[in-house]
Chain A
């Protein structure tokens, strides 16, 4: 998933922001900045504080239950602190650099975690990983920082794909496409029936467009190039990147023109109402779907463009890391061990509404056909990517939002757009 991760909690984010806007310009900025040394949660070797951005009602309730369970097991005590996700995102660097930081945090695997690790802000949790021997190698690699120690404990992941309603595809007499050519043919068929083939929701959630960029890039240039590009080791004005947009342009005429104006939640409503044919989105979109529609949902993987490129899929991984400055590393690790266990992961999957796959291979995911299919798709993939911001940084995401929304509006200006993107990215990498 993504942006500021992401739209599903955006409303709470706004509440926080409205307050900020009321403050004066100059003093406001530095007041926030200078509060980095201010006091935060403080505890000795007693209870472990876990700072959570899982603020949607189901996820919050699920976390509360897990923590309550942990507290009855006698391995330590923990207290949960749930924070609106946009506030959490902007405050995370402040938490981690403060003198008395909270002990544990919910966050995402990948560059976004490794970046903190490279600043020595994260606790080495290799001890916890000793008991996670049966976790797949892909998750272990993902949780390992540049110096070779584990700094992250995954909780679950989910997948992205083209979602559609089975009943609508049957009504329109169309099949899931396998290749890019099939896909374009499908779009053409839907368009001829008067249905905007591809739904999207960029108003307020422009980061959704990054899924298109990620997928086209990993299908055309492969996941290693994609990761290097996002790490600043390749250039956005490279001809290989332009090739991504040349492909994308073939599909542009099939995008729902209204998708520019509404957020992905409304794009979901449009898909469910049969006003668009399909929608490239992560499984979290189902949070906004009515229960009775869930059984009618199906998805297909992003079509293959070059069969020679090893198959990669986006599988954003959520989990936990701990502050290097925690006063109680033993307690923090005990809680991480509990959270990575079968019991906790199954309880979380059961209690939360989302369609997620537990990270622990022994934990049972939901047995709905959709989840079984999603798990099979990820198991088949040679490489997993996280999502644009997770494979790079939240700081790079706005440069992508600008470039991609502009491309969708003005595909003719692609050369200028890529030059601007490169310039914007260089500023972010430079700091």
Chain B
């Protein structure tokens, strides 16, 4: 019993209780100093008419699709290319994984240098004769969000690749052997042997990606702080600035609740489907 009760008690204090408190705060108005005022669903009503919130929600969806989708495609592609043991493959795997190891502060600094005016990005474009494309990447509302997704992808692809590599290693080579004997070409083997065999890994990758997308904060905050004028705002950065800059902790808690519900919905949706298929 102690094996369950002790962790449960610890979780209750550190996770469940603050989470429940978060729900309570979302029904209040609070500046962090004065006593809280109960306002019912006012925060949620305000949210419905808040253009910045809608923008952040849309950006979060774009982020989920682009960051999630591309890191799965990129990570899976890289894993396929690098799964065969051959000379030097360890070097490439390590190189792709390196960004994961970097501290995010370092990552942000590196990319800031890349994007700065007359920085590496601009120099590259000039070198290939595309100088008309040059713009203040992080300061232009048209490009800011995408300019932040790129470093996030740069980091995430290596991580997803490692997950897929582990999954690919676990596939019994006999299956591929058998498929080859039956005359399946490499596309058919990928489609009908590799992908179905990766089902377990897919669940992990999906959860990791949804959670990482929704909590993406650090890279955005250190590169643009959600700006210029909210154009790269995600729900997470909006929540942070609402809470700790505007000191509107009630409204920020309501945003946090939305983030929580979104994450839960996506992941539960997947898990329910996965279980149903297994049953």
Contact = CB atoms under 8 A, between A and B. Distances in A.
A30 B244 contact: no
B249 A29 contact: yes
Contact of B34 (A119, A393, A409): A119
Contact of B221 (A21, A93, A121, A401): A21
Contact of A25 (B21, B105, B139, B236): B236
Interface stretch (A44-52, A123-131, A257-265): A257-265
Given A18-B105, A22-B218, A405-B227, A33 B15 contact: no
Contacts of A395: 245-248
A431 interface: yes
B79 interface: no
Contacts of A257: 136
A323 to B, nearest CB: 13
Interface stretch (A135-143, A144-152, A182-190, A199-207): A199-207
Interface residues of A, number: 53
B33 A119 contact: yes
Interface of A: 4, 14-15, 17-18, 20-22, 24-34, 36, 90, 93-94, 96-97, 119, 121, 202-204, 206, 257-258, 260-262, 266, 393-395, 397-398, 401-403, 405-406, 409, 420, 427-428, 430-431
A249 B19 CA distance: 48
B74 interface: no
Most B CB within 10 A of own CB, among A21, A206, A428: A21
Contacts of B23: 26
Most A CB within 10 A of own CB, among B137, B246, B257: B246
Interface in B12-26: 14-15, 18-19, 21-23, 25
A24 B245 contact: no
Most B CB within 10 A of own CB, among A28, A97, A202, A397: A28
A26 B256 CA distance: 5
24 contacts: A14-B105, A18-B222, A22-B218, A25-B256, A25-B260, A25-B263, A26-B260, A27-B22, A29-B239, A30-B253, A33-B30, A34-B21, A93-B32, A93-B247, A206-B225, A257-B136, A395-B248, A398-B241, A402-B230, A405-B227, A409-B141, A427-B46, A430-B29, A431-B29
Contacts, number: 153
B232 to A, nearest CB: 12
B247 A261 contact: no
Nearest to A86: B244
B117 interface: yes
Given A26-B260, A395-B245, A93 B15 contact: no
A206 B226 CA distance: 12
Interface residues of B, number: 60
Given A29-B253, A394-B245, A427-B246, 14 more contacts: A21-B217, A26-B22, A27-B14, A30-B253, A33-B30, A34-B18, A121-B33, A203-B139, A260-B136, A260-B140, A260-B228, A395-B248, A398-B246, A406-B229
Contacts of B115: 261
A111 to B, nearest CB: 14
A30 B25 CA distance: 8
Contacts of B139: 202-203, 260-261
A24 B256 CA distance: 9
